[in-house]
Structure 1
Amino acid sequence: MGKYFGTDGFRGEANVNLTAEHAYQIGRFLGWYYGELKKKKQLDEPAKIVIGKDTRRSSYMFEYSLVSGLTASGADAYLLHVTTTPSVAYVARTDDFDCGIMISASHNPYYDNGIKLINSNGEKMDEETILLVEDYIDGKLRLFGQEWKELPYAHKDAIGCTVDYVAGRNRYMGYLISLGVYSFKGMKVGLDCANGSSWNMAKSIFEALGAKCYVINNEPNGLNINNNAGSTHIEGLQKYVVDNGLDVGFAYDGDADRCLCVDELGNVITGDHILYIYGKYMKERGKLDNNTVVTTVMSNFGLYKALDELGIGYAKTAVGDKYVYEYMQQNGCRIGGEQSGHIIFSKYASTGDGILTSLKMMEVMMARKQKMSQLCEGLSIYPQVLQNVRVSDKAEALANPEVQAAVDQVTAELGDTGRILVRESGTEPVIRVMVEAESEEICQKYVDMVVEKLK
């Protein structure tokens, strides 16, 4: 991770630690950099960069700042307007763009925002390019054999233009509809759009496939994104599904790159459930390449037990869908994701895609002629206790012999009935201690044992 950009972009409170000036500088650099790369390939054309945004009030400010920077550097900016992160990735990949930009802070509250950079393959931007962006922001850019205190402006007909590209968003919606292999006719589906990016897309896609849609949190006003809504506040959808007798419900986050489900009984279906359901479905049809489901270290112990029972292998990556995708690409895996609902279907997308995930869950329900609750049979989610301990030095705390001895003792006593995970936070001076076991009491007992040594 860099100085400004974390695993999911440059994120912060709007006009506090992520400002309009930052967005302008990012636009200035990307417009100039990709233009220079084209010149070096002797291509006489401007850089093309596609931009999407979520429904936060500040997203318009950042969009205009990015466009100003891009066009001042000679690039053409194509605007998808309010759209999802995966749609920007899709359009960047299929429409020959030099890169894509998504303005969103995902599941964060409205006053935060973020700038996510996406490469021409629809993947998260490589670290090398991100570090160049950061160097430019800090006024210490060295590139192409020289120092750049300031970048040249475009002049006359070399100044970039802005293109309304809502057609790109519509093509993405058409692509998702084309993946529907079953009619959803007769199915009553609840959708929680989090007052975010999916508000003007999800219902249309489901209705095109025949579903009767019941939609909540689809009235964004710039201030209510993720506010007691969406995948991080799923209790509202749980009640809504039960009260209205729906077959299933799907909850997205602010930029719709994640999805959690609610079964017909009102139970939450997490990312781990989704990996189990779809991994099993793929194996049954001989489609699970390498017989591997890719997870992160935070996936539930119960998922691994259930996959063992099915004879399905699994990989564990660091937390972050970026790392899941990297592993999938390097090892030719077809499905992976996080407990939080970032699920990647690598045959269809290069990033987590909430609407795609919900369509895939519908596909399994229709193919198996089963309710969502029935598809989860065979998976028992273990109780989990997580405690954060603030420390002065994370590395020193983890290396402490007494802490290591306590962790080893817990590991030995749990055996194959649970697990302990002790890791550093990537963003805070905190050590996270997590135990999964057959009861919450056992979890708490072992968490306390390690936390006492850490303190």
Structure 2
Amino acid sequence: MGRLFGTDGVRGLANGDLLTPSLALRVGEAAARVLLRDVQDRRPVAVIGRDGRASGEMLEGAVVAGLTSAGADVIRVGMLPTPALAFLTAHFRADLGVMLSASHNPMPDNGIKIFAAGGHKLPDDTEAEIEALILDDDAPWQRPTGADVGRVTDHAEGAAAYADHLLTAVPADLSGLKVVVDCAHGASSLIAPEAYRRAGADVVVMGAEPNGTNINDGVGSTHLDSLRAAVVEHGADLGIAHDGDADRCLAVDAAGKDIDGDQILAICAIGLKEAGELTDDTVVATVMSNLGFHNAMAEHGISVATTAVGDRYVLERLRADRLALGGEQSGHVVFLKDATTGDGLLTALHLMARMAQTGRTLAELGSVVTRLPQVMINVPVADRERAASARPVAEAVRRAEVELAGAGRILLRPSGTEQLVRGMVEAPSEDQAERGARKVADSVAATR
């Protein structure tokens, strides 16, 4: 068995070769043993939530069994967004939190995301310690018995506490704004429309009928066509698209034109700077952000700190440098003052608040970023690490970079969540970017 933890927890085909109930039980127990070992003189507490996948019910039972067998009391909060689970971990002063979700992945997949006390994602060394314990068949598992076994309670009021938190964090009046929200038949299906209505917006809802099998199925942040059409049809000011667990947010303007994570991050960074709330006039972004984003930030006197791909790395940089805002092109945005992870609902509220405060359309606000043509490639492979590091692939990337002559860039990396090699080619023209992407993709495909 290879490394279990990717860029965002343990993820794979639910009930397949990796992500089985037996593994989920060991993940729960190992996480409890590592994260709860310093808890003394009281019963430790864990919070667990899930998105709308049918397999979440199965995996929840297994993780709960692992947690309680290690002596942790468990609070089940049901179907809630990942950022809500992180918030509630802090809200309940719990010792750890577990979210069952595969985010934007198709329904058959699922995942286990673990949060430490305070709702923070785990650092790499802690994940490695948990993973080593999971994989050690000879580890001494001394389990409590009798009254020391953990107990389970259900808490149905978590959504209301999270919504109150969102509206306190972004107190803007959104009256007069009409928004179409696509909930991806996921974890935000109830809470996102409610939060936006409570903020004053006129809300049209789509993709909000989760049935266990339809999450991300032609809807949400990875399928924007229906949202584009709905915004135009309803004469809305904008559309908001969440993914299955609502830790990301993408948007479309009134004409149905996409507003990506770079543009959203730029809009929010400029807004925070004008309010005097952008610490050190610096925003954090990943290596995938478009060069147009960097140019826009420079024009507004904002520095960009760059990290590896993954909102956990954005968060680590924010915390290390005590900065206020960071995010990814994919729509994960972290407002450190009010969240411990990427929060799609919080991001949407900030975006709409900026529209309300300035009186400008989303198209006008988004035009601050002039994007260079960028082509993304996702190549399915049998072994993502081996394919990404293969010598013929490195040589193909080098040749493509020579052709760009410094006017663009190429980034290639193994996916942290799927058996894919992901790449990005940026160039002065669409044709150049397409040619470079084809060459690199062909070299990766040849390794299969």
Q: TM-score when scaled to structure 2?
A: 0.91
Alignment CA distance shift 1:71-1:238 (3 Å): same
Deviation of 1:412 (Å): 3.0
Which structure 2 residues correspond to residues 7-406 of structure 1 after superposition, within 5 A?
A: 7-16=7-16, 17-39=18-40, 43=41, 45-140=42-137, 148-152=139-143, 154-387=144-377, 394-395=388-389, 397=391, 406=399
Q: Deviations over 1:29-83 (max 9, x none)?
A: 33444554223xxx2x211000011010011111111112222222100011100
Secondary structure of the 2:341 match is coil
Deviates more, 1:385-394 or 1:174-183: 385-394
Secondary structure of the 1:50 match is strand
Alignment CA distance shift 1:285-1:409 (3 Å): same
CA–CA distance in structure 1, aligned partners of residues 15 and 271 of structure 2: 46
Alignment CA distance shift 1:453-1:184 (3 Å): closer
Secondary structure of the 2:118 match is coil
Do 1:20 and 1:62's aligned partners in 2 also have CA atoms closer than 8 Å?
Answer: yes
AA partner of residue 30 (structure 2)? F
Which structure 2 residues correspond to residues 410-425 of structure 1 after superposition, within 5 A?
A: 410-412=403-405, 414=407, 419-425=408-414
Secondary structure of the 2:312 match is helix
Alignment CA distance shift 1:369-1:110 (3 Å): same
AA partner of residue 126 (structure 1)? P
Which structure is higher in RCO with an 8 Å CA cutoff and minimum separation 6?
2
Secondary structure of the 1:328 match is helix
Q: Deviations over 1:370-407 (max 9, x none)?
A: 1111112332122112446779664452896x657635
Identity among equivalent pairs (%): 38
Do 1:393 and 1:429's aligned partners in 2 also have CA atoms closer than 8 Å?
Answer: no
Alignment CA distance shift 1:201-1:132 (3 Å): same
Alignment CA distance shift 1:230-1:28 (3 Å): same
Secondary structure of the 1:197 match is coil
CA–CA distance in structure 2, aligned partners of residues 233 and 394 of structure 1: 27
AA partner of residue 295 (structure 1)? A
CA–CA distance in structure 2, aligned partners of residues 113 and 448 of structure 1: 30
Secondary structure of the 1:37 match is coil
Alignment CA distance shift 1:227-1:55 (3 Å): same
Do 1:57 and 1:223's aligned partners in 2 also have CA atoms closer than 8 Å?
Answer: yes
**How many residues end up aligned between the 2 structures?**
439
CA–CA distance in structure 2, aligned partners of residues 243 and 431 of structure 1: 37
AA partner of residue 95 (structure 1)? F
AA partner of residue 222 (structure 1)? G
Deviation of 1:140 (Å): 4.5
Deviation of 1:298 (Å): 1.0
Alignment CA distance shift 1:194-1:329 (3 Å): same
Equivalent residue number for residue 145 of structure 1 = none
Deviation of 1:236 (Å): 0.8
Alignment CA distance shift 1:27-1:393 (3 Å): closer
Alignment CA distance shift 1:230-1:393 (3 Å): closer
Alignment CA distance shift 1:436-1:394 (3 Å): closer
Deviation of 1:430 (Å): 7.0
CA–CA distance in structure 2, aligned partners of residues 433 and 220 of structure 1: 32
CA–CA distance in structure 2, aligned partners of residues 388 and 182 of structure 1: 39
Secondary structure of the 2:157 match is helix
Segments of 5+ residues of structure 2 without an aligned counterpart are none
AA partner of residue 12 (structure 1)? G
CA–CA distance in structure 2, aligned partners of residues 97 and 196 of structure 1: 25
Deviates more, 1:121-130 or 1:319-328: 121-130
Q: Deviations over 1:6-39 (max 9, x none)?
A: 1101111111120111111222233444554223
Deviation of 1:453 (Å): 8.3
Deviation of 1:448 (Å): 5.9
Deviation of 1:201 (Å): 0.4
Do 1:34 and 1:47's aligned partners in 2 also have CA atoms closer than 8 Å?
Answer: no
Deviation of 1:270 (Å): 0.6
Segments of 5+ residues of structure 1 without an aligned counterpart are 142-147
AA partner of residue 189 (structure 1)? V
Do 1:56 and 1:222's aligned partners in 2 also have CA atoms closer than 8 Å?
Answer: yes
Secondary structure of the 2:120 match is coil
CA–CA distance in structure 2, aligned partners of residues 23 and 393 of structure 1: 28
